[in-house]
């Protein structure tokens, strides 16, 4: 119950951030930082149950928006990203409230090695960071479409897109996020191998989570290699980003959504 109120407080602060006028830049920055800290406290208290860890698709999405807010706050100090604020903050409001509706399930950690906790932490951060990359890629696609036709978006969305940085700047930010997510995803795969060997006595099991996670890793690795040696950008980069995110979502978030919401099961 206590964490529900903390999540609600974070959602309220995010809503304030979304509604504040652009001229109050210092106030927006301060409220954003406060909302992010409150959201972090709620996630920590909610997930870190003694001897267990709470997992679920709602928690993953909430953590993704938490990381997204941090990315916005940091990058807004270098670039004018007020348009991104108008898009991220409403999503953060919903993400902060989502765990209260879909609480997920408890994953016992007693008897497992310390690698289990590190593996889960790396996985949550990897999913969260690459979710931001996918969201960023969608924004770039909408931004590019708006350059060709001013009627491509609604009035509110169109105004927010007009306030985003130039496409070249957005692309630079996208690959910065992808690099961070790729490193975290690599740590997730490596820690998964260690965790699996210590608990099950065998290497990474070939279940749907492992297959889709590895496929996602290959797609993001190919994108970064293509960017480095072939100069991939534009639509090619966006397609690889969205394909990599889709396979990663199928690895965990999608299956958790089916189990918890469609089938009403809480299995890990």
**pLDDT interval class at 116 (50, 70, 90):** low
Non-local (6+) Cβ contacts of 95 within 8 A are 61, 62, 64, 65, 66
- Model pLDDT for residues 166-175, shown as the tens digit of each residue: 888 888 888 8
The torsion angles phi and psi of 111, rounded to 5 degrees, stand at 90, -15
- Reference 223, options 137, 144, 141; nearest CA is 137
Q: What percent of the chain has pLDDT over 70?
A: 77
**Is the CB of residue 74 less than 8 Å from the CB of residue 133?**
no
- Model pLDDT for residues 228-258, shown as the tens digit of each residue: 888 888 788 888 888 888 888 777 655 554 4
Residue-level pLDDT at 220 = 92
Residue-level pLDDT at 209 = 72
Q: Is pLDDT at 152 greater than 70 in this prediction?
A: no
**Which sequence spans correspond to the domains of the chain?**
1-110, 112-268
Distance in angstroms (rounded) separating the CA atoms of residues 238 and 222: 13
Q: How many CB atoms lie within 10 A of CB 155?
A: 7
Segment among 147-161, 169-183, 207-221 with least mean pLDDT: 147-161
**Is the CB of residue 142 less than 8 Å from the CB of residue 158?**
no
- Mean pLDDT across the chain: 78
Residue-level pLDDT at 156 = 57
Q: Residue range 180-202: average pLDDT? A: 74
Residue-level pLDDT at 263 = 43
Residue-level pLDDT at 7 = 92
- Identify which has the larger pLDDT, 221 or 107: 221
**pLDDT interval class at 13 (50, 70, 90):** very high
Residue-level pLDDT at 124 = 78
Residue 105 DSSP label: E
Residue-level pLDDT at 260 = 46
- Model pLDDT for residues 72-81, shown as the tens digit of each residue: 888 777 777 7
**pLDDT interval class at 12 (50, 70, 90):** very high
- Identify which has the larger pLDDT, 88 or 37: 37
**pLDDT interval class at 31 (50, 70, 90):** very high
Using a 10 angstrom Cβ sphere, with 0-12 exposed, 13-18 middle and 19 or more buried, the burial of residue 76 is middle
Residue-level pLDDT at 178 = 92
């Amino acid at each position: 119950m206590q964490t529900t109120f903390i999540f609600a407080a974070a959602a309220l602060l995010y809503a304030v951030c979304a509604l504040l006028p652009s001229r109050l830049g210092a106030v927006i920055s301060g409220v954003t930082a406060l909302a992010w800290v409150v959201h972090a406290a709620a996630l920590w208290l909610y997930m870190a149950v003694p001897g267990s860890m709470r997992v679920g698709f709602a928690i993953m999405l909430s953590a993704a928006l938490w990381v997204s807010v941090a990315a916005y706050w940091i990058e807004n100090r270098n670039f004018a990203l007020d348009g991104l604020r108008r898009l991220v903050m409403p999503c953060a409001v919903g993400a902060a409230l989502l765990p209260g509706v879909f609480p997920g399930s408890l994953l016992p950690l007693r008897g497992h090695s310390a690698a289990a906790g590190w593996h889960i932490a790396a996985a949550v951060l990897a999913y969260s960071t690459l979710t931001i990359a996918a969201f960023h890629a969608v924004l770039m696609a909408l931004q590019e479409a708006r350059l060709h036709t001013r009627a491509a978006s609604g009035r509110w969305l169109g105004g927010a897109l007009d306030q985003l940085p130039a496409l070249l700047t957005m692309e630079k930010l996208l690959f910065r996020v992808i690099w961070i997510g790729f490193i975290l995803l690599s740590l997730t795969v490596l820690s998964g191998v260690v965790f699996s060997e210590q608990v099950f006595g065998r290497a990474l099991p070939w279940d749907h989570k492992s297959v889709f996670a590895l496929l996602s890793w290959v797609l993001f690795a190919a994108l970064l290699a293509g960017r480095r040696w072939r100069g991939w950008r534009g639509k090619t980069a966006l397609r690889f980003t969205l394909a990599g995110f889709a396979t990663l979502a199928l690895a965990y978030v999608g299956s958790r959504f089916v189990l918890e919401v469609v089938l009403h099961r809480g299995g890990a």
